Amino acid sequence: MRIERDVIYIFMATLFLMVAIPWAAGQLSDEILFEWPFFFEVAIGGLLAGVMYSLVALGFVLIFKASGVFNFAQGAMVLFSALTLVGLNELGLPMWLAIIATLFVMLILAIVIERVVLRPLVNQEHIILFMATIGITYFLDGFGQTLWGSEVKILDLGIPSDPGFYFGGAILINDFDLVAALIAGILVITLALFFQYTRIGRALRAVADDHQAALSVGIPLKHIWVIVWAVAGIVALVAGIMWGSKLGVQFSLALIALKALPVLILGGFTSVPGAIIGGLIIGAGEKLAEVFIAPLIGGGIEDWFAYMLALAFLVFRPQGLFGEKIIERV
Amino acid sequence: MYERTLGDVVLEVRNISLSFGAMRVLNDISFDVRQGEIRSIIGPNGAGKSSMLNVINGFYHPQEGTITYRGETRHEMKVHKAAEQGIARTFQNIALFKGMSTLDNIMTGRNLKIKSNILLQAIYWGKAQKEEIEHRKKVEEIIDFLEIQAIRKTPVGRLPYGMQKRVELGRALAAEPEILLLDEPMAGMNVEEKEDMSRFVLDINDEFGTTIILIEHDMGVVMDLSDRVVVLDYGLQLADGPPDEVRSNQAVIDAYLGVPH
Ligand SMILES: Nc1ncnc2c1ncn2[C@@H]1O[C@H](COP(=O)(O)OP(=O)(O)OP(=O)(O)O)[C@@H](O)[C@H]1O
Ligand SMILES: [Mg+2]
């Protein structure tokens, strides 16, 4: 991937602002305490949460790259996979077996979606495929809750969630966040390498660009779609496990998808590295803003900060940090 | 043109009729293609030329007629099967993978040549990597052949039109096809670019022995390159024969050559 100079500038500027604004706020206001260890503590906590945003965004990117479709159902897939996992676990399967079984369920789901929804719609307008994914969303939300019930469920993987002290006791980080970020990080990197350097990655990018041409060189569209939806399903499951352990498995998991939207706008809809970096920036940015800026203006920044940032990007860099430039040829 | 002896029939279409709803796009078309020849399809806009190519590589499935290829007669071609059995093509409206480099675009043309299993590829790096290098070598040969070394790493979306056409040809060549379908490879090109493209078409035919089915509007080019020409008009087959014969055919002159468009 060629990184443009603009990207580096924007990135450096963002990093600079993320340090400079909290620092300045600390100097200007007595209410805000700015100390370096505390700053890093907040930033790291934010980055760790950001990795989990990246994970959800990644599911979107994969499907968008392969089919040009914005998969509205990604959030529903997160919820559905988490519900299935907890449901199977409650039926008596040990957790590891339940995870494997859920992976199979997500694979079958991918095959069914390709067969029943995507294949009949080949070569239709993207907006039609998009609407089909809205249909999938409602189906999964309803089906999942009918099958497994709609009360809040607890998902416990046995990962300790005590805060731990790092860097000689100076910085306080939640162990669970650390483990979650580690797992998500490994998954993200594996996927990025897989799609960048393997034949299937190339086939996937080919399908994303031109269905007909991809068919003409013998790339089997059907297989590619099953593969990306299955991978998106796996990503959804991992996100479902992580967010489900944190927040409990409940309907609001499906809304995680809304947090992925600003991440995508920041990183670009077609870029795997973009999803990662976008997630990190938003995760860290919103935590820093909440701690160091919110007191100045009366709080509650965390809820809308990501969308503000996304809006700014839409105005100044609509293709996102790493997205392909949008060139209209007239 | 020098005297050429044509090989056996490799592809034959018989009584092909294709309709979209009430519109009849191809009407009882029959012709054959011989090993190693350059076979052109000409006709005015909307005559059904591109549709004919789409029937041959399986994008369109005709309602009537048969297609015989490699001794097997069938009612319709399947896209994947066609690609597997050595039919490669370019498109009238360039259909490249715009985000990818020239190299990667041409590399996708080798998709079906890659043997190692997808999953193996993901875990068993050594062997898959070796195979990748071999394919890379083949792709470099094609890049040299088409004289596009300078744009190897450029994302094709940024290339000028003529270059994109060349990359698309490269992608089709990468499959080492038995039959190459070219849908207006010279459309929109200037004289110099057309000459280059004509030279490539002749060289491909000559050096690799590839059979070529060519759609082209430029009569000079068609008359120069083709061994035989099929003429279509509004889905009807007007004539079929060597360039000289077709050129002097009255029906063709009336319907096509005589009418400026
Ligand atoms: N998929 C399709 N659905 C409906 N009609 C089609 C389809 N494909 C082609 N046609 C129609 O078939 C007719 C022949 O089209 P075709 O593209 O084969 O012509 P052509 O000879 O290649 O013309 P040109 O020189 O303009 O490329 C046209 O009237 C076209 O509108
Ligand atoms: Mg055409």
Q: Which residue does chain B place closest to A209, by CA atoms?
A: B97
**Res. B256: pLDDT tops 90:** no
Q: What ligand has the least distance to the C-alpha of B55?
A: 1
Cα A83 to Cα A105, A138, B153: the distances in Å are 12, 15, 46
Q: Which residues contact A156 (CB under 8 A, 6 or more apart)?
A: A245
Over range B209-216, report the average pLDDT.
Answer: 96
- The reply to whether B106 and B126 lie within a common domain is yes
CB-CB under 8 Å, A217 with B108: yes
Q: Which of B16, B25, B56, B182 to mutate to test the pocket of ligand 1 (most atoms within 8 A of CB)?
A: B25
Question: Which alpha helices (DSSP H) does chain A contain, by range?
Answer: 5-28, 36-67, 74-90, 95-112, 126-148, 175-197, 199-209, 211-216, 221-247, 256-267, 272-292, 294-297, 301-316
Which residue is it, tokens 């019930």? A149
B246: domain range? 1-86+177-261
Looking at the domain assignment, is residue B123 inside a domain? Answer: yes
Q: What's residue A329's pLDDT?
A: 43
Which of B132, B151, B174 delimits the end of a domain?
Answer: B174
CA A83, A88, A91, A93 torsion-angle sign:
negative
What digits encode the pLDDT tens for the residues A252-265?
888 877 888 899 99
Other C-beta atoms within 10 Å of A30: how many? 6
Same domain, B196 and B69: yes
* % of residues, chain B, pLDDT over 70: 92
Is B94 inside any structural domain? no
- Give me the CATH number covering residue B187: 3.40.50.300
3-state secondary structure of A21: helix
Q: What is the DSSP string of A35-88?
A: -HHHHHHHHHHHHHHHHHHHHHHHHHHHHHHHHS---TTHHHHHHHHHHHHHHH
Q: How far apart are CA A67 and CA A46, in angstroms?
A: 32
Residues B69 and B132 in one domain: no
* Residue B93: CB atoms within 10 Å: 9
Indicate the number of domains in chain B: 2
pLDDT in tens, A193-222: 877 777 788 888 888 788 889 999 998 888
Domain closes at, from B157, B174, B191:
B174
* Residue B96 placed within a domain: no
Distance A69 CA to ligand 2 centre (A): 28
What pLDDT, on the 0 to 100 scale, is given for residue A328?
A: 47
List, as own/partner pairs, every contact residues B26-31 make where C-beta atoms lie below 8 angstroms and the sequence separation is at least 24, other chains included. Answer: B26/B51, B26/B52, B26/B55, B26/B62, B26/B232, B26/B235, B27/B235, B27/B236, B27/B237, B28/B64, B28/B65, B28/B236, B28/B237, B29/B65, B29/B230, B29/B232, B29/B235, B29/B237, B30/B65, B30/B237, B31/B230, B31/B237, B31/B240
Q: pLDDT per residue over B138-190, tens digit each?
A: 999 999 999 999 999 999 988 999 999 999 999 999 999 999 999 999 998 99
pLDDT value of position A21: 87
How many angstroms separate the CA atoms of B248 and B250, rounded? Answer: 6
Residue B69 counted as domain residue: yes
> Which of A116, A91, A113 has its CA nearest to residue A101?
A91
Report which protein residue has its CA nearest ligand 1's atom 9: B51
DSSP class of B53: H
Beta-carbon contacts of A325 under 8 Å, excluding residues fewer than 6 positions away, are A319
Q: Are residues B62 and B187 in the same domain?
A: yes
In this structure, the answer to whether residues B156 and B223 fall within a common structural domain is no
pLDDT tens digits, one per residue of A259-299? 888 999 998 887 878 888 999 999 999 999 988 888 888 77
**Residue A116 amino acid letter:** V
Q: Which two tokens stand for residue A148?
A: 């497994």
Cβ-Cβ contacts under 8 Å, B80 against chain A:
215, 218, 220
Complex ipTM value:
0.85
Domain presence at residue B43: yes
Query: How far is A101 from A226, CA to CA, in rounded Å?
Result: 18
Shortest CA gap B43–chain A (Å)? 24
Residue A330 has pLDDT above 50, yes or no: no
Residue A2: pLDDT band by 50, 70, 90 thresholds? low
Q: What token pair was written down for B73?
A: 């007669």
Residue B32 placed within a domain: yes
Residues B80, B182 within the same domain: yes
Nearest atom within ligand 1 for CA of residue B20: 4
Cα–Cα nearest to A67, from A123, A1, A134, A138? A123
- Residue B235 counted as domain residue: yes
Chain A residues with CB-CB distance to B108 below 8 A: 202-203, 206, 214, 217, 219
Asked whether residue B137 is domain-assigned, the answer is: yes
Q: Are A60 and A199 in contact (CB under 8 A)?
A: no
pTM exceeds 0.80:
no
The reply to whether B116 and B168 lie within a common domain is: yes
- The residue whose CB lies within 8 Å of the most ligand 1 atoms, and thus the one to mutate among B24, B27, B49, is B49
Residues B6 and B82 in one domain: yes
Confidence of residue B124 (pLDDT cuts 50, 70, 90): low
Boundary-marking domain end, from B174, B201, B235:
B174
**Radius of gyration for chain A, computed over Cα atoms and rounded to the nearest angstrom:** 21
B17, B18, B19, B20: which to mutate for ligand 1, most atoms within 8 A of CB? B20
Task: Note whether B170 and B182 are same-domain residues.
Answer: no
Question: What sign for the dihedral angle of Cα A58, A64, A67, A70?
Answer: positive
B111 to chain A, any CB pair closer than 8 A? The answer is: yes
Residues 6+ apart with CB under 8 A from A67: A118, A129, A207, A208, A225, A228
Judgement on whether residues B211 and B260 belong to the same structural domain of the protein:
yes
Interval A163-187: pLDDT, tens: 777 766 667 778 888 888 888 888 8
From the list A198, A212, A218, which residue is nearest B80 (CB)?
A218
Cβ(A327)–Cβ(A280) below 8 Å: no
| Ligand having the closest approach to the CA of A212 | 1
* Distance of alpha carbon B122 from alpha carbon A229, whole angstroms: 18
Q: Do A218 and B104 touch (CB under 8 A)?
A: no
Cα–ligand 1 centroid distance for B59 (angstroms): 13
Q: B244 and B145: one domain?
A: no
B89 touches chain A (CB under 8 A): yes
| CB-CB contact of A86 with A249 (8 Å) | yes
Torsion sign (Cα): B61, B67, B71, B72:
positive
Q: State whether B203 and B167 are in the same domain.
A: no
Contact B104 A205 (CB under 8 A): yes
Of A165 and A143, which is predicted with more confidence? A143
In sequence order, the β-bridge partners of residue A174 are A163
- d(C-alpha A52, C-alpha A286), whole Å: 14
Q: Which atom of ligand 1 is nearest to the CA of B44?
A: 25
Q: Which of B92, B108, B117, B156 to mutate to test the interface with A (most CBs of A within 10 A)?
A: B108
